[in-house]
């Protein structure tokens, strides 16, 4: 029975479509994401990749199509049928969402320790020492100085804030993490170190992830599979290395060709 | 030997007597009459009726006298009185097109059917403090007879060309929200919002309206029409089966014409903001219209950039009776809660000092 | 001009019915804030209108009313509210905690344990325990509905991280009947344990914010804390200079400008009762 469950996708999107009035967000997007798999969604701005991420995390309501998620009890459920309470609970425990802008995913006026510990407290942890211990642990794992546990993210640099956001999301051992340009807006050297960290964490924790990025190098480094989008439509999908080394569609070819050699 | 202070009751009685004494002032100076307040401080009376949510000039004048001229205190008196009155029901909606107009201006057209009627206004006076003698009457003023049949509302004229959004039609089955009967619940529908603004503090709304003009949620307002006049109030009495006239009230109405909008499926039209109040209350009606329009940001899909567009913020803080109650309640004894805080601060200070001396002892030992 | 004739206890019967319906809902869902259409009362918002409306709705001609503020019957606002009920309801009043059937209070719970025949009415300024963490009513309502109280513990965590202690000394949040987090009103945390398993009905009225909530008799009320930083009662270290009590909440009285101070019981009835027992004098009941 367990083998069968492992072969069921963790996240399924079927024909996802979103219209903003007469403006198309995305049209007819389908994907299957398995446990431990990382999918990159790439495209230029306006491609619909951010809309897709918000639809997958039920932050937006789809005009058509649906999103299915396999819960911890093994049952796959349609997210739109879940009650708000259940969705919010999932968002706090089983899922992570990393915003491009870390201030959106953090409580800026509250200490780093509280930021990381909040999800634990929300699920009933009531021992200050243990909460603080778990927070310290996670700060170390994302390569932040644990001595700064009582500082607020106001005093952190952009790269540090992003690491903190990641720790805050991972503390409840989510199975699915959605990331929106996690390294966007950061210094090139900072980006490289952060990508390294992400790659390590994803492998260690066997996370499933959907990573939205305009940067093909990020996709190549982190993802197993890739989906290329343009103007709200899916252009091409497949294994990352295959698509990037041997793109089929003309748009993908153009995209790949436009990367300047390092 | 410490004896707990007693006599709070006597202190209060004495304070009330002293207040009455101060209210009268110098007894050789003639006492103010309600008629004087009603006739000569008309605009104060109008404000008290508006924010007190009660149309009764004599009661408002009495409240102003009892409150020694403190208008918010007077408004409180009127509100508290209103809360004791029996309610028979709601009147028919006032038809402002049928108002017998004493003043009517429009900034959007140079001239329009019915003309610009200035009426009694401070607008073009020079704000020069006059010697009291100069305030005396010097003969009968000219009065223009307004014929309301030739004075259509500007918004109706624009609507005739479909240039302005129509006022959303009311659902005749739906119960009109009533803030004096039900607590405010958010998000609020427009009927409740307008009610909240109508009885809201003039100063607060003025500042918020001003802020929209300065960019905190700008909506490009034009004063489409401001009209002042007397309106007939009618009540649909079930027993007789038709609307019974109750009397006439003075109202001020302001229609703002704001930023146009359209979409791929809708042609562009101007949007609107609305203000209405008892008596002559232009500043209030205009501010109300600006804030009404700002609060429609969510419904009109506009970016929310300023406090005037924040429904929860505006509606929760517009009531000056609530505001003054809470601000002034700080005068009440809070020594028990303060005692609790004192205890904590003293303890933390003690720990702080201990940590300091421990540190210096360590240093000395090293 | 209309001159009003006031109903018993000022409020008209319709309004009392509306308030009682809200009270019933509140009792049915312990700790949950029930919205109600608060009326303008003859005293300002923020000065006890919520408590006054609750008391006015439940007061009957046979009741014996006690009104205290900061624990004392003689503070100005307690006097003012007591006089209000004497005037509008001809209410019989008392300073005795033991004898009163309805006790309206601001910022203290009486020291004497309460009985099943009694109702304690609290005056509440800000009913929402999450208000200072989340100013939006729309969001806090959702948090209560979904029992999302993580933010509350974040605040407590921050206090310990910053000060080494939970820094809330009054209006200390509690969990009622294992479900709703509630603000007990600005009573010192010293009083929190009295709410737990109390024989009396406890009603909370917030007039300006238009909410009523309740703790039914014998309900579990637990102050929020951490396992390794358990809730602690705070009390000034001292005894009452008048009656010698070593276990009542104390007021600090400044006696000179050179740091001279003394402590007296905040609960004046408690103090007087102890003193009259010591000297054998009978207790007085106010007319």
Which residues in chain C have Cβ-Cβ distances shorter than 8 Å to B185? 35
Burial per residue of B282-313, b for 16 or more beta-carbon CB atoms within 10 angstroms, e otherwise: bbbbbbbbbbbbbbbbeeeebeeebbbbbbbe
pLDDT value at position A3?
A: 44
Which residues in chain C have Cβ-Cβ distances shorter than 8 Å to A111? 158, 161-162
pLDDT at B172 over 80: no
Q: How far apart are CA C282 and CA C153, in angstroms?
A: 48
pLDDT digits (tens, 9 = 90+) for B252-298: 999 999 988 777 677 888 999 999 999 999 999 999 999 999 999 98
pLDDT value at position C158?
A: 92
Q: Could you report the predicted ipTM of this complex, rounded to two decimals?
A: 0.85
Q: How far apart are CA A91 and CA A86, in angstroms?
A: 9
Question: At B299, phi and psi to the nearest 5?
Answer: -65, -35
Burial class from Cβ neighbours inside 10 Å (0-12, 13-18, 19+) for residue B90 reads exposed
pLDDT value at position C131?
A: 85
CB atoms within 10 A of CB B341: 16
pLDDT at A5 over 80: no
Q: Which residues pair with A33 in a beta bridge?
A: A11
pLDDT value at position C287?
A: 41
pLDDT value at position A261?
A: 54
CA distance A34 to chain C (A): 30
Instruction: Look up residue B199 and give its two tokens.
Output: 């009885």
CB atoms within 10 A of CB C246: 10
Q: Look-up: residue for tokens 């739109």?
A: A80
Helix (H) or strand (E) holding A204: helix A188-205
Taking the Cβ of residue A66 and every Cβ of chain C, the question of whether any pair is shorter than 8 Å is answered with: no
Indicate which of B53, B73, B340 best probes the interface with C, i.e. most C CBs within 10 Å of its own CB.
B340
Helix (H/G/I), strand (E/B), else coil: A176: strand
Strands (E), chain A: 11-20, 23-33, 38-42, 64-70, 76-78, 95-98, 176-180, 208-213, 225-230, 233-239
Q: Give the residue numbers in B contacting A (CB under 8 Å), as ranges.
A: 263-265
A158-170 vs A188-205: helix crossing angle, rounded to 10:
10
Helix and strand numbers (H, E) in chain C are 7, 12
pLDDT value at position C281?
A: 56
pLDDT digits (tens, 9 = 90+) for A25-53: 999 999 999 999 999 999 988 889 989 99
pLDDT digits (tens, 9 = 90+) for C45-97: 888 999 999 999 999 999 999 999 999 999 888 999 999 999 999 999 999 99
Helix (H/G/I), strand (E/B), else coil: A250: helix
Q: Look-up: residue for tokens 């200072």?
A: C132
CA distance B261 to chain A (A): 14
> Residue B360 — pLDDT band, cuts 50, 70, 90?
low
DSSP secondary structure code for residue A71 in this structure: -
Q: Which residues pair with C59 in a beta bridge?
A: none
> Residue C228 — pLDDT band, cuts 50, 70, 90?
very high
Q: Are C37 and C195 in contact (CB under 8 A)?
A: no
Judge: C150–A132 Cβ closer than 8 Å, yes or no: no
pLDDT value at position C5?
A: 66
For residue C226, give every residue at least 6 positions away whose Cβ sits within 8 Å of its Cβ, in sequence order, or none. Answer: A126, A127, A128, A131, C153, C156, C157, C160
CA distance A55 to chain B (A): 20
pLDDT at B1 over 60: no
pLDDT at C283 over 80: no
Burial class from Cβ neighbours inside 10 Å (0-12, 13-18, 19+) for residue C250 reads buried
Which residues in chain A have Cβ-Cβ distances shorter than 8 Å to C146? 84-85, 88-89
pLDDT value at position A186?
A: 83
Judge: A121–C154 Cβ closer than 8 Å, yes or no: yes
Helix (H/G/I), strand (E/B), else coil: A157: coil
Which residues in chain B have Cβ-Cβ distances shorter than 8 Å to A22? 263-265
Which residues in chain B have Cβ-Cβ distances shorter than 8 Å to C40? 76, 79-80, 82-83, 321
Judged by average pLDDT, the poorest of B146-160, C152-166, C179-193 is B146-160
Judge: B339–C75 Cβ closer than 8 Å, yes or no: no
| Of residues C222, C216, C179, the one with CA closest to residue C199 | C216
Which residues in chain C have Cβ-Cβ distances shorter than 8 Å to B328? 44, 46
Question: Which residue of B80, B86, B335 is in closest CB contact with C41?
Answer: B80
pLDDT value at position B33?
A: 96
Could you check whether the bond before residue B187 is cis, i.e. omega within 30 degrees of 0?
Answer: yes
Instruction: Look up residue B87 and give its two tokens.
Output: 């309610």
Neighbours, chain C (3 or more CB pairs < 8 A): A, B
Judge: B4–C164 Cβ closer than 8 Å, yes or no: no
Q: How far apart are CA B52 and CA B85, in angstroms?
A: 13
Q: In the predicted model, what is the mean pLDDT of residues A164-182?
A: 94
pLDDT value at position B149?
A: 65
> Residue B4 — pLDDT band, cuts 50, 70, 90?
low
CB atoms within 10 A of CB C197: 12
CB atoms within 10 A of CB C267: 27
Q: Which residues pair with B76 in a beta bridge?
A: none
pLDDT at C136 over 70: yes
> Residue C285 — pLDDT band, cuts 50, 70, 90?
very low
Judge: B325–C44 Cβ closer than 8 Å, yes or no: yes
Length of chain C: 287
Q: In the predicted model, what is the mean pLDDT of residues B176-195?
A: 90
Taking the Cβ of residue A128 and every Cβ of chain C, the question of whether any pair is shorter than 8 Å is answered with: yes
Q: How far apart are CA C201 and CA C48, in angstroms?
A: 19
Q: In the predicted model, what is the mean pLDDT of residues C125-134?
A: 88
Q: Are A197 and A222 in contact (CB under 8 A)?
A: no
Burial class from Cβ neighbours inside 10 Å (0-12, 13-18, 19+) for residue B113 reads exposed
Q: In the predicted model, what is the mean pLDDT of residues B197-208?
A: 98
pLDDT at C26 over 70: yes
Helices (H), chain C: 13-28, 49-58, 76-89, 137-145, 150-163, 192-195, 268-279
Length of chain A: 262
Enumerate residues 4 to 43 of chain A having a beta carbon within 8 A of any beta carbon in chain B: 21-22
pLDDT at C16 over 70: yes
pLDDT digits (tens, 9 = 90+) for C165-206: 888 889 999 999 999 999 999 999 999 999 999 999 999 999
Helix (H/G/I), strand (E/B), else coil: A135: helix
> Residue B361 — pLDDT band, cuts 50, 70, 90?
low
pLDDT at C32 over 70: yes
Which residues in chain C have Cβ-Cβ distances shorter than 8 Å to A118? 150-151, 154
CA distance B136 to chain C (A): 31
> Residue A190 — pLDDT band, cuts 50, 70, 90?
confident
Judge: C74–B326 Cβ closer than 8 Å, yes or no: no
Percent share of chain C, pLDDT over 90: 69
Question: Which residue of A85, A88, A113 is in closest CB contact with C161?
Answer: A113
Q: How far apart are CA B97 and CA A173, in angstroms?
A: 66
pLDDT value at position B68?
A: 96
Question: Which residue of C146, C157, C225 is in closest CB contact with A114?
Answer: C157
Taking the Cβ of residue A119 and every Cβ of chain C, the question of whether any pair is shorter than 8 Å is answered with: yes
Neighbours, chain A (3 or more CB pairs < 8 A): B, C
- Helix (H), strand (E), coil (C) string for chain B: CCCCCCCHHHHHHHHHHHHHHHHHCCCCCCCCCHHHHHHHCHHHHHHHHHHHCCCCHHHHHHHHHHCCCCHHHHHHHHHHHHCCCCCCCCCCCCCHHHCEEEEEECCCCCCCCCCCECCCCCCCCCCCCCCHHHHCCCCCCCCCCCCHHHCCCHHHHHHHCCCECCCCCCCCCCCCCCCCCCCCCCCCCHHHHHHHHHCCCHHHHHHHHHHHHCCCCCCCCEEEEEEEEEEEEEEEECCCCEEEEEEEEEEEEEEEEEEEECCCCCCCEEEEEEEEEECCCHHHHHHHHHHHHHHCCCCCCCCCCCHHHCHHHHHHHCCHHHHHHHHHHHHCCCHHHHHHHHHHHHHHHHHHHHHHHHHHHHHHHC
Taking the Cβ of residue A111 and every Cβ of chain C, the question of whether any pair is shorter than 8 Å is answered with: yes
Does C139 or B28 have the greater pLDDT score?
B28
- Which active-site residues of C does the annotation give? 31, 240, 243, 265, 271
pLDDT value at position A4?
A: 46
pLDDT value at position B268?
A: 85
User: SS3 helix, strand, coil % of chain A, rounded to 5?
Assistant: 40, 25, 35
Q: Look-up: residue for tokens 């720990």?
A: B351
Exposure on the CB side of residue C123, measured as CA atoms within 13 A:
26
Kindly identify which residue of chain A lies nearest to residue C224, measuring between CA atoms: A126
CA distance B163 to chain A (A): 22
Kindly identify which residue of chain A lies nearest to residue B264, measuring between CA atoms: A22
Q: How far apart are CA C113 and CA C95, in angstroms?
A: 15
> Residue B3 — pLDDT band, cuts 50, 70, 90?
low
Kindly identify which residue of chain C lies nearest to residue B178, measuring between CA atoms: C37
Burial class from Cβ neighbours inside 10 Å (0-12, 13-18, 19+) for residue C256 reads exposed
CA distance B263 to chain A (A): 9
Judge: C154–A117 Cβ closer than 8 Å, yes or no: yes
Q: How far apart are CA C246 and CA A190, in angstroms?
A: 61
Judge: C227–A121 Cβ closer than 8 Å, yes or no: no
Distance of CA A26 to the CA centre of its chain: 18
pLDDT value at position C282?
A: 57
Q: How far apart are CA B75 and CA C275, in angstroms?
A: 47
Q: In the predicted model, what is the mean pLDDT of residues C111-133?
A: 94
């Amino acid at each position: 029975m367990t083998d069968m469950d492992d072969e069921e996708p963790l996240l399924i999107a079927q024909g996802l479509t979103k219209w903003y009035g007469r403006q198309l967000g995305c049209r007819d997007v389908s994907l299957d994401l398995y446990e431990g798999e990382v999918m990159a969604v790439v495209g230029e701005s306006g491609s619909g990749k951010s809309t897709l991420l918000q639809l997958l995390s039920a932050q937006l309501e789809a005009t058509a199509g649906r999103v299915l998620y396999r819960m911890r009890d093994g049952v796959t459920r349609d997210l739109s049928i879940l009650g708000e309470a259940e969705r919010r609970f999932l968002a706090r425990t089983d899922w992570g969402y990393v915003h491009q802008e870390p201030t959106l995913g953090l409580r800026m006026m509250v200490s780093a320790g509280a930021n990381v510990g909040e999800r634990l407290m929300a699920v009933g942890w009531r021992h200050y020492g243990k909460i603080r211990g778990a927070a310290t642990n996670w700060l170390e794992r994302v390569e932040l100085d644990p001595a700064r546990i009582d500082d607020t993210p106001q005093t952190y640099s952009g790269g540090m804030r992003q690491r903190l956001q990641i720790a805050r999301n991972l503390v409840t051992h989510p199975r699915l993490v959605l990331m929106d340009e996690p390294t966007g807006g950061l210094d090139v050297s900072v980006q490289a170190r952060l990508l390294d960290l992400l790659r390590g964490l994803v492998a260690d924790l066997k996370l499933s992830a959907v990573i939205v990025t305009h940067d093909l190098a990020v996709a190549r480094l982190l993802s197993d599979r890739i989906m290329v989008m343009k103007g709200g439509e899916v252009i091409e999908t497949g294994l990352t290395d295959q698509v990037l080394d041997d793109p089929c569609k003309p748009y993908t070819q153009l995209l790949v060709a436009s990367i300047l050699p390092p | 030997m410490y004896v707990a202070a007693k006599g709070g009751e006597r202190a209060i009685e004495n304070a009330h007597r002293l207040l009455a004494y101060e209210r009268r002032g110098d007894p050789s100076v003639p006492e103010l009459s309600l008629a004087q307040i009603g006739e000569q401080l008309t605009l104060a009376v109008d404000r008290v009726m508006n924010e007190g949510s009660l149309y009764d000039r004599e009661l408002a004048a009495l409240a102003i006298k009892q409150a020694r001229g403190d208008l918010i205190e007077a408004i409180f008196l009127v509100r508290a009185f209103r809360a004791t009155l029996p309610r028979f029901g709601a009147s028919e909606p006032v038809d402002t097109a049928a108002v017998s107009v004493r003043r009517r201006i429009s900034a959007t057209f140079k001239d329009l059917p019915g003309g610009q009627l200035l009426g009694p206004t401070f607008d073009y006076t020079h704000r020069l403090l006059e010697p009291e003698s100069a305030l005396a009457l010097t003969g009968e003023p000219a009065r223009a007879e307004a014929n309301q049949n030739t004075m259509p509302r500007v918004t109706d004229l624009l609507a005739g060309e479909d240039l302005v959004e129509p006022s959303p039609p009311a659902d005749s089955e739906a119960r009109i929200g009533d803030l004096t009967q039900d607590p405010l619940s958010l998000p609020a529908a427009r009927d409740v919002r307008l009610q909240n603004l109508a009885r809201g503090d003039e100063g607060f709304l003025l500042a918020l309206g001003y802020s929209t003009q300065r960019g905190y949620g700008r909506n490009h307002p034009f004063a489409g029409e401001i009209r002042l006049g007397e309106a007939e109030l009618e009540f649909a009495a079930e027993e007789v089966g038709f609307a019974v006239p109750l009397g006439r009230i003075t109202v001020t109405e302001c229609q703002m014409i704001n930023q146009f909008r359209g979409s791929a499926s809708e042609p562009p039209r101007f949007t609107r903001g609305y203000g209405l109040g008892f008596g002559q209350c232009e500043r209030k009606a205009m501010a109300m219209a600006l804030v009404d329009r700002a609060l429609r940001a969510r419904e009109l899909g506009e970016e929310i950039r300023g406090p005037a567009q924040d429904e929860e913020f505006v509606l929760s803080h517009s009531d000056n009776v609530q505001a003054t109650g809470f601000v002034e309640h700080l005068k009440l004894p809070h020594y028990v809660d303060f005692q609790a805080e004192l205890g904590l601060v003293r303890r933390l200070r003690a720990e702080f000092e201990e940590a300091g001396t421990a540190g210096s002892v360590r240093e000395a030992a090293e | 001009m209309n001159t009003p004739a006031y109903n018993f206890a000022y409020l008209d019967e319709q309004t009392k019915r509306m308030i009682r319906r809200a009270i019933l809902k509140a009792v049915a869902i312990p700790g949950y804030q029930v919205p109600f259409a608060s009326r303008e009362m003859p005293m300002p918002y923020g000065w006890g209108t919520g408590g006054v409306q609750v008391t006015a709705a439940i007061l009957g001609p046979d009741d014996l009313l006690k009104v205290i503020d900061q624990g004392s019957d003689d503070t100005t606002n307690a006097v003012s509210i007591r006089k209000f009920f004497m005037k509008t309801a001809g209410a019989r009043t008392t300073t005795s905690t033991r004898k009163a059937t309805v006790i309206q209070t601001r910022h203290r719970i009486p020291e004497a344990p309460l009985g099943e025949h009694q109702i304690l009415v609290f005056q509440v300024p800000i009913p929402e325990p999450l208000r200072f963490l989340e100013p939006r009513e729309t969001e806090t309502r959702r948090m209560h509905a979904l029992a999302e109280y993580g933010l509350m513990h974040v605040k407590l965590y921050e206090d310990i991280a910053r000060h080494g202690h939970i820094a809330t000394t009054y209006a200390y949040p509690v969990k009622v009947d294992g479900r709703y987090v509630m603000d007990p009103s600005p009573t010192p945390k010293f009083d929190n344990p009295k709410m737990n398993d109390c024989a009396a009905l406890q009603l909370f009225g917030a007039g300006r914010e238009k909410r009523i909530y309740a703790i039914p008799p014998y309900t579990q009320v637990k102050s929020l804390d951490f396992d390794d930083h358990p809730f602690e009662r705070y009390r000034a270290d001292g005894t009452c200079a008048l009656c010698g009590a070593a276990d009542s909440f104390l007021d600090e009285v400044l006696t000179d400008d050179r740091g001279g101070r003394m402590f007296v019981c905040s609960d004046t009835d408690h103090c007087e009762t102890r003193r009259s027992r010591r000297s054998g004098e009978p207790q007085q009941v106010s007319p």
